């Protein structure tokens, strides 16, 4: 019986994917990662580097940046400045790791992560943005969103969780909503972490076969395997219609998680004038990894 159940599970999760006009079979339950994924993952989506940052270099640089983040937090507490950093991207893009790298050494009383579950029955009857407003920062606080109101620009329309009219209304409302946030005096960052298709497949496979990460792989991830182009279309529309002067999108190439985290933090720190800022410790943002708006993605 157990073997029959395992076979059924494996069969149900094996999918045929269209990769560059060619049909490829991907069975996520097979412990062996397909060669075509392994060979293409790092360079997918025209990633500009051949290999990831050396771990020792990464950890040394990250420590310097995290010291700057602690200075930033102390400055926030002294001045009452409020900051929102919003992290979006496809599943397995590296949002959670980037948030951990940013907030891991900060006082959790003043650096809060918001990762809302699906709306309750009451929340579904409210204005779409209403439940997010209650989570926004108070004086001296940094709030980091692990996904956000932009669910309505991606997963909801792709998976049929909202109507086309709701999606259209969202895209019209969000620039005005975010303009209010900025005019309130909140420093507002929006990050889209971008990865290639083969890299996403590799990370899904890694999660499936790692007992410490299996919880990260959801049925929604499996259901979305054949919806890459749908997500791409909605991503492009979102970036085009919600990239504004007041609330621009910062696009981060994320095939190398280490480079993505370092440059994302550098971007934040370089745009804030806090006491004791060490520009040498921050370093220069890599313009091959960080760009602004839809024009950065080809």
DSSP string of the chain, one letter each residue: -HHHHHHHHHHHHEEEEEETTEEEEEETTSSSPPHHHHHHTTTTTT-S-SSPPPHHHHHHHHHHHHHHHHHHHHHHHHH---EEEEEEESTTSSHHHHHHHHHTTS-TTTEEEE---SPPHHHHTS-TTHHHHTTS--TT-EEEEES-GGGGGTHHHHHTSS-HHHHHHHHHHHHHHHHHHHHTT-EEEEEEEE--HHHHHHHHHHHHT-TTTGGG--HHHHHTTT-HHHHHHHHHHHHHHH--SSS-EEEEE-SSHHHHHHHHHHHHHHT---TT--HHHH----TTTEEESGGG--
- The confidence score (pLDDT) of residue 217 equals 94
Do the Cβ atoms of 86 and 142 come closer than 8 Å?
Answer: no
Q: What does the pLDDT look like over 184-193, one tens digit per residue?
A: 999 999 999 9
Q: What does the pLDDT look like over 154-185, one tens digit per residue?
A: 999 999 999 999 999 999 999 999 999 999 99
Confidence of residue 13 (pLDDT cuts 50, 70, 90): confident
Q: What does the pLDDT look like over 222-270, one tens digit per residue?
A: 988 999 999 999 999 999 999 999 999 999 999 999 999 999 999 999 9
Confidence of residue 20 (pLDDT cuts 50, 70, 90): confident
Q: Where are the domains of the chain?
A: 2-296
- The confidence score (pLDDT) of residue 11 equals 54
- The confidence score (pLDDT) of residue 95 equals 98
The pTM assigned to this predicted structure is 0.94
Closest to 129 measured CA to CA, from 201, 58, 178: 178
Query: Strand pairing of 249-253 and 142-146?
Result: unpaired
29: helix, strand or coil: coil
Residue 114 has pLDDT above 90, yes or no: yes
Closest to 197 measured CA to CA, from 189, 186, 205, 208: 205
- The confidence score (pLDDT) of residue 47 equals 98
Residue 6 has pLDDT above 60, yes or no: no
CATH number, span 2-296? 3.40.50.300
Q: What does the pLDDT look like over 55-89, one tens digit per residue?
A: 999 999 999 999 999 999 999 999 999 999 999 99
């Amino acid at each position: 019986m157990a073997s029959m159940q395992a076979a059924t599970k494996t069969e149900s999760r094996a999918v045929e994917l269209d990769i560059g006009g060619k049909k490829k079979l991907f069975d996520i339950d097979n412990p062996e990662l397909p060669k075509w994924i392994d060979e293409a993952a790092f360079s997918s989506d025209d990633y500009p580097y051949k290999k990831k940052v050396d771990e020792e270099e990464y950890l040394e640089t990250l420590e310097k940046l995290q010291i700057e983040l602690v200075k930033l937090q102390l400055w926030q507490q002294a001045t009452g400045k409020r900051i929102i950093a919003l992290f979006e991207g496809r599943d397995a893009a590296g949002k959670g790791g980037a948030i951990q790298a940013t907030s891991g050494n900060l006082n959790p009383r003043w650096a809060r992560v918001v990762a809302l579950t699906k709306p309750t029955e009451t929340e579904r009857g409210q204005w779409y943005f209403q439940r997010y407003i209650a989570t926004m920062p108070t004086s001296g606080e940094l709030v980091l969103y692990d996904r956000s109101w932009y669910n309505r620009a991606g997963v909801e329309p792709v998976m049929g969780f909202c109507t086309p009219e709701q999606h259209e209304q969202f895209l019209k409302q969000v620039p005005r909503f975010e303009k209010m946030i900025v005019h309130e005096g909140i420093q507002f960052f929006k990050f889209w972490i971008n990865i290639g298709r083969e890299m996403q497949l590799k990370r899904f496979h890694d999660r499936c076969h790692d007992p410490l990460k299996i919880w990260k792989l959801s049925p929604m991830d499996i259901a979305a395997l054949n919806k890459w182009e749908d997500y791409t279309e909605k991503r492009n529309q979102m970036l085009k219609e919600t990239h504004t002067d007041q609330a621009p999108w910062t696009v981060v190439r994320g095939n190398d998680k280490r480079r993505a985290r370092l440059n994302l933090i550098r971007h934040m720190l370089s745009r804030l004038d806090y006491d004791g800022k060490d520009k040498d410790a921050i370093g220069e943002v890599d313009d091959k990894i960080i760009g602004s708006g839809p024009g950065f993605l080809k």
